[in-house]
Amino acid sequence: MIRIALDAMGGDKGVEATVGGAARLSLEEVDIRVMLVGDVKSMSEALDGVRYDPTRIELVGADGFITMEEKPAVALAGQPNCSLLTAARLVRSGDADALVTSGNTGAAILAAAQTFERLPGVRRAALASVYPTAKRRGPRRDPFAMMLDVGAGMGATAGDLVTFAYMGAAYSSLISEIDNPRVALLSNGTEAMKGTPAIVEAHRRLLETSLNFAGNIEGLDIPKGTVDVVLCDGFLGNVVLKMLEGVSEVVTGLAKEASSRRLQWRLGLSMLGGGIKHLQRMTDWKSYGGAPLLGLDSVVIKAHGRSEARAIRNAIKVAAKASRGDLVGRIRDGVASAGEGVR
C-alpha cells in the first residue's frame, strides 16, 4: 500500500480541506494510506464531521505549521517540528512514500531541499505544473500539458533546461502515459538562434539527445498544446502559469456576467451550456492534482494553495501514482543517460 504524508495544516482552506480530501479518498477502492500530519486535536475534530475509512488514515502529531504569509527560511528555522517538516521527515525515513502539501510554496520547496537529496546530475530541482490545452493527449485524452520550471528557481542555465527536459518527459510519460513526449523550449521565436544564450545553447544540446525535442515554441503555442512539455526559467514559467489561471477565471466570470445581463445572452449561453461546462472542466486546476517538485530523491507534490477537498484528493492520487510508477528512478535513469549534456 502506498503511504502518503499529507501536510494537513497547510493551504488557504485549512484542515477541513486536507482532512476532507483524505477522508473522501479513503472511501474509494485505491491502494493508498494517508498519514495526516498536524495538530491532532484539529484533525480529529475535522474527521468527526466526515465519513472515512479509519484503516486508511493515520494521524501524526506535529508542533505548529507554516502560514502562507511567513518567510520560508525564518518560519522553518523557528518551527523545526512543524507539520511540513514532520511530513517530509516521514518520507525521508521511509515511513511514507511521498509528500503532499498545499501550504506555502517557498516553504515547501525549501523544506524539500533541506530534507531530500538532489539526484545525481541535477543541479537544481524544478517545480512543474500542468495547464489546459486545446489538444488532448495520452490514452485518457488528457486536456493538459506540462510546464517547468514554474517557480522553484531563477536563472536556469542551458544544462538546467536540458535536465528539466528529462524530468518533464519522465513525469509526462508516467502520469499522462504518453509514449515519447514532445518537449520544447519556450522562447520568443521558433528559430534555433532565438532566445537568451541559455535557451540557444540548450536548443543545441537537446538536438543531440534521444528526447523527442520539438525545438522552440512561442507563447501562442502554449494553449494550443503543440507539445507535451514546455521548458523555461522559473521566473518566466511562474508568470505564464499565473496568467493562464487568470484567463480561465476571467472566461468563466464573463460567461456568468453575460448570462445575468440580457435575456438573449442568457438564452445563447444556455444553448452553449454543455460547451461552457466543458470549458470550465478543462480549465479547472482542481482536477489536475498538484505540481510535482522534480529532481529530488523523493516524490513531492505541491497542491494549489486554494485547494479544497477535491483538489487535495487528486493531489494525493497523483503522488501515489508517481511513487508507484517509480518517477524518481525514471528521472535518475534519464539524467544519467544524458551524461555530460546536462552540465
* pLDDT at site 251: 56
321-327 average pLDDT score = 95
* pLDDT at site 260: 56
Please provide the average confidence, as pLDDT, over all residues in the chain.
87
Which H helix or E strand runs over 130?
A: strand 126-137
* pLDDT at site 271: 47
What is the percent of the chain with per-residue pLDDT over 90, rounded to a whole number?
67
CB half-sphere exposure, 259, CA atoms < 13 A:
13
Please give the backbone phi and psi of residue 64, each rounded to the nearest 5 degrees, phi first: 85, 175
Question: What is d(CA 118, CA 167) in angstroms, rounded to the nearest whole number?
Answer: 12
Beta carbons within 8 Å of 325's beta carbon, 6+ residues apart:
174
Which H helix or E strand runs over 21?
A: helix 15-26
User: Cell digits for 208?
Assistant: 543531440
Q: Compute and round to an integer the Cα radius of gyration of the chain.
A: 20
* pLDDT at site 222: 86
* pLDDT at site 11: 87
* pLDDT at site 200: 96
* pLDDT at site 257: 58
* pLDDT at site 136: 81
7-24 average pLDDT score = 93
Report the SS3 class of residue 183: strand
CA 231, 286, 297, 173 torsion-angle sign: negative
Of residues 207 and 142, more confidently modeled: 207
For residue 149, say if its preceding peptide bond is cis, omega within 30 degrees of 0. Answer: yes
Q: What angle do CA 158, 167, 196 make, to 5 degrees?
A: 20
10-30 average pLDDT score = 94
Q: Give 239-247 contacts, CB < 8 A, sequence gap 24+.
A: 240/147, 240/150, 240/186, 241/129, 241/131, 241/147, 241/150, 241/151, 244/131, 244/132, 245/285
Specify the DSSP class assigned to residue 313: H
Report the SS3 class of residue 61: strand
pLDDT of 135 above 70? yes
pLDDT of 313 above 90? yes
Most confident region among 96-100, 253-257, 264-268 by mean pLDDT: 96-100
Pairing assessment for the beta strands 142-148 and 229-231 based on DSSP bridges: parallel
Specify the DSSP class assigned to residue 117: P
Confidence of residue 241 (pLDDT cuts 50, 70, 90): confident
Question: For residue range 256-295, what is the model confidence (pLDDT) as tens digits?
Answer: 555 555 555 555 545 444 444 544 444 444 445 688 999 9
